[in-house]
Structure formats: C-alpha cells, structure tokens
A and B are shown apart, each in its own frame.
Chain A
Amino acid sequence: MTRDEGVGHSDEGLVLERVAKSFGRRGRARQAVADLDLRVDHGRFVCLIGPSGCGKSTVLRLAAGLVSADSGSVRLFGEDVALARREKRIGYVPQSPALLEWRNVLDNVRFPLEVNRGAAVSPSRTPEELLLALGLGDVLQRHPAELSGGMQQRVAIARAFAFGPSVLLMDEPFSAVDEMTRESLRHELLSVWQADQRLVLFVTHSVAEAVVLADEVVVLSPRPGRVAARIPVELARPRTAELEDSSEVHAVAREVRSALRAVTEGSQ
C-alpha cells in the first residue's frame, strides 16, 4: 500500500466502492446508502447535494471513518479510511461549529494539534495565519459565546485546516447562518482552500452554494442514497463573489436543479 504524502502522487483520492449502510435494528433497519460508488480525485472540490434524507451526511460520515460501512470499501489515498483517521489526515467540519466553549478562538483552532500527537502533521499555515485569513485576527482571545454564528463557523473552518489534513469533509457547515453571511463564508472558504487545494467533499442542500464552490456536483437520490448524477462545474478559479450572479453559474445551477427534480420526482 502506498503512502501518499501530497497531491498527485497517487491517482486515488477518496474512493467509496459499492458501499452499503443501514441503521436501526435488524428487521426494521433503514437502508441509508446502498450500492454507492463515489470517487473524488486529489485536489478536487466536490459538493454532494440531494433531497433531505438522501444519506448525504451518512456518505460524509462514512468518508470520515465515523461510521463503518456494512459492505463495500471506503478508501482514502489507497488505504482504509480507518487508517487515514488514525494518521490524522481527515479534517471534519460538522454541521454545528462544535467549538469548545471554555477555550478561546485560538485555542479552539489549536485543539486538533493537541490530540493524537502520535500522528505526524504538516500544516502549511499556523492557526494565527488561518484565523487572520478568515478575518478573525481581532478575536483570537474571545470565547465562542461572544461570537456570532458566522464567526463561530469560521473558527470551525480554521480548525479543520489547522493541522494540514489531506482531505476536508464538510457537513452542511453553513446551514445555520443567514444568507448574507453564507455568501461571504463560501468565498472565504474558497480563498483559504485555494492556497493548497486539498480534496474536499462538501455536503450542502443549496444549489447555488454547490455550484460556486465545486469542481463537480454529485446529486444523490434518496432512500437509499445512490449517485444519481455527476455534473462538472467548469468555471475558472479563483472564483469571485461576482461570479455568483453570472450566467455560467446560472446555467450549471439549472442543470443541477433539473437533476434534483428528477430524483425527487422519481422517489415519489
């Protein structure tokens, strides 16, 4: 098994192969994901979108090694995802900021560096640099309760980047903030990501968000979750805030919406 140290050494990024996962007791088990195949190559930003209950979060949690698949395999860089997790190569951003309320902003971002020290990490930027890049330079010593929801989410993003993970897995990280904040968060995320372009799998239920962020939008069909469509987004990077209203974005968004409509109607 090859241990890949950076971008481009191995062809394989994140690979989910014929993955199935169900929850609940036997007999009354609910199939969350069935026969799911998904490949995300190195340096790619992929958004996962689908109607609610389609297993988006389950896919992300499988990719993070937080739950294990009933069958099929989940690999990161050619190795089992459990190993990648042990090596601290996964940057996970949950739906809520999940900040430690007794720590200030800076110490929250340092948290991933303090645990599982056995794993070698190679962050390209210090926590301070990341927080500065996300516009949080003035609040390093503040505590989470003193920050707005958008600021808390920025801290969570800085925390995910802080230890230089090979992959970022984000579970609707902007779902709890207002639309204006959301728009600026997208572009801040992109500008932080732009620097070293790690593999990102980003779950969202916003079509506009998916199109502006992603190299590829993957549409999941519900019950059980399967890949229904893969829509490439061939827009130049870096992507700016002005792009949000461009006709290219609208064209791709239309395509994603019709794919979403197809899976929603198909399931009813």
Chain B
Amino acid sequence: MNGGALEVADRRPLWRGTRRVVPALVALGVVAGIWQLIAVHNPLVLPTVGSVFSRLADQPGLFAKDAGATLEEVAVGAAAAFAAAFVIAVAMSELPIVERAVMPLAVALNVTPVVAIAPALTVMLGLSATPRYVVAAIVAFFPFLINALVGLRSVDPAVLELAQSLDAGRAEVLWRIRLPSSLPFLFAGARICLPLAVVGAVVAELTTSGPQTGLGYLIESAESTYDLPEIFAAVLVLAMIGVVLTVLLVLAERALVARRRGRA
C-alpha cells in the first residue's frame, strides 16, 4: 500500500453529511420517546431514560471498570479465535484432507450451545477469567473460520492460471495472492465475530463464577437487587461497546481495503 491509499480513504467521512445522520437520530428519538412513555406509567417494568443515564453518570468509574474487564475478555477471546481460525483456514485451503477432518468438529462445536459448555469450563479451568476467554473465543471462532476459508478461495481463477503459467510456488500463491485476496473477507468475518465475542463474554460472566467483574457480572448483581436502571445502564454500555468496535473495524477496513474498489 502506498500513501495515496490512505489519503483517499481519509477524505471520505464516515457519515456523509447530515442527510445520513438525521433519519437515524429521528428514529432513535422516536424509540426513546415511546420508551419514556411506557416507563413513566410502568416504573417497575421499564426504567425511565433519565434514571438509566443518571445511574451511568453517578458511577462512571464502576461501569468503566466492568466495561474494561468485559473488553479484555472480548479482546483475548477474539484474538485467540481469529488466530486459530485463520491458521486452520489456511491449512484447510491448502490441504483438502484437513478440511474433511476438522470441519465436522468445527461444525459440532458451533452448533453446541455455548451456555451448556460454560459451567464445565469453570470446573475445568478454575475461578479465573480463563473460562470467559474460552467462551468468547468459541463463539467467535466458527464464523471467522468460514469467512477466512471463503476469502482464501475467492481468488479469480484467471489470476491462479497466470501464477501457474509463471510456475509460482504454492507458498508464493498463498502469500502473494490468496492472503491479500482474503483480506476483505477477514474484515467481514471480524464484523460478525467481534459482536459475537461480546455476547460470549457476557454469557460467560453470567454463567461462570469467575472474578467479580465485567458488565455481565454487574447485570447479574443488579438483578439480585431488582435494580432495573443499573441493568439497562450496563446494557447501554454493552451496546456502545458493540458500536465502537464496529466503527473501528469499518475505519480499519477503509484504510486497508477501500482503494481496491476504486474512487467511484
């Protein structure tokens, strides 16, 4: 990549003008309004928008600490899942026998409800954060594997023929053609899998008895005191984490991949 690629990517704002933002803000306002209307009349069913935000404002440190713990689980779990899935996808794309051997196992892991595995992981791995890393990783693993595999196989057959006509080696084809071809698919996979890893981390916090941190743990302890505003404040933080992660991925994708699609 050269410097020009970044210039082009940077010149385009994430949201192009107010036309893009206004409809979304209006929709958000309508939802918040309906929410508030229900909450005012049924305070035991829904907390008011104000009470959720004031809870956030009262204890920003608490939410930040738990958000940090959850984010750490997401980061460790997703990084491990992406690395493992990518290595396995490369092995599968190079050797069909690996795919035949490993894919059924991967599918079985994917269809097994992760909530069912979580208690076993606590017993196996102890009262540390490790079971949470593992659960986040399991959830993120399979979709990323599939995306990476599709990406590695997405190469234009004419390009492969060209490489063959030059007698390019397998390693050269992998490194110079298959890996760069797969990059957009890796980003697509990450956009699916990072939010999934957040789900995995929260589920693990709710179901394993590890350290008393994380937004899932905060939700669980708020539940025991019927503290709806705190629960929804934690949910709001989780939603924001998901949005921020997605935006960061989109920006990274713009910088690395956008140039391929041309300026038009």
- B261, A115: Cβ atoms closer than 8 Å: no
The interface-forming segment of A4-12, A28-36, A86-94, A243-251 is A86-94
- A92, B262: Cβ atoms closer than 8 Å: no
CB contact under 8 A between A145 and B261, given known A66-B161, A94-B161, A100-B177: yes
Which residues 145-186 of A have a CB within 8 angstroms of B? Answer: 145-146, 163, 169
Residues of B within 8 A of A119 (CB): 167
Residues of B within 8 A of A225 (CB): none
* Any B CB within 8 A of the CB of A141: yes
* Any B CB within 8 A of the CB of A241: no
- B156, A92: Cβ atoms closer than 8 Å: no
- B176, A98: Cβ atoms closer than 8 Å: no
- A116, B166: Cβ atoms closer than 8 Å: yes
- A115, B161: Cβ atoms closer than 8 Å: no
Most buried by A among B161, B164, B165, B259: B165
Query: What CA separation (Å) do A86 and B259 show in the bound complex?
Result: 33
- B158, A85: Cβ atoms closer than 8 Å: no
Query: What CA separation (Å) do A85 and B3 show in the bound complex?
Result: 36
- B165, A92: Cβ atoms closer than 8 Å: yes
CB contact under 8 A between A100 and B167, given known A141-B2, A143-B262: no
Query: What CA separation (Å) do A104 and B8 show in the bound complex?
Result: 14
Query: What CA separation (Å) do A109 and B64 show in the bound complex?
Result: 51
* Any A CB within 8 A of the CB of B163: yes
* Any B CB within 8 A of the CB of A234: no
Residues of B within 8 A of A265 (CB): none
- A112, B166: Cβ atoms closer than 8 Å: yes
* Any A CB within 8 A of the CB of B223: no
- B165, A90: Cβ atoms closer than 8 Å: yes
- B180, A115: Cβ atoms closer than 8 Å: no
* Any A CB within 8 A of the CB of B169: yes
CB contact under 8 A between A116 and B180, given known A94-B162, A96-B158: no
* Any A CB within 8 A of the CB of B168: yes
Residues of A within 8 A of B176 (CB): 100, 111, 114-115
Contacting B262 at CB < 8 Å: which of A95, A99, A146, A169?
Answer: A146
* Any B CB within 8 A of the CB of A65: yes
Residues 113-155 of A, flagged 1 when their CB comes within 8 A of B and 0 if not, give 0111001000000000000000000000101111000000000
CB contact under 8 A between A115 and B168, given known A98-B161, A141-B4, A146-B263: yes
Residues of A within 8 A of B167 (CB): 85-86, 88, 115-116, 119
- B156, A115: Cβ atoms closer than 8 Å: no
Chain A contact residues, CB within 8 Å of chain B? 64-66, 85-86, 88, 90-92, 94-96, 98-102, 104, 111-112, 114-116, 119, 141, 143-146, 163, 169
> What 9 A-B pairs have minimum CB-CB distances, sorted nearest first?
A145-B262, A92-B165, A98-B158, A115-B168, A94-B158, A101-B260, A102-B180, A115-B172, A146-B262
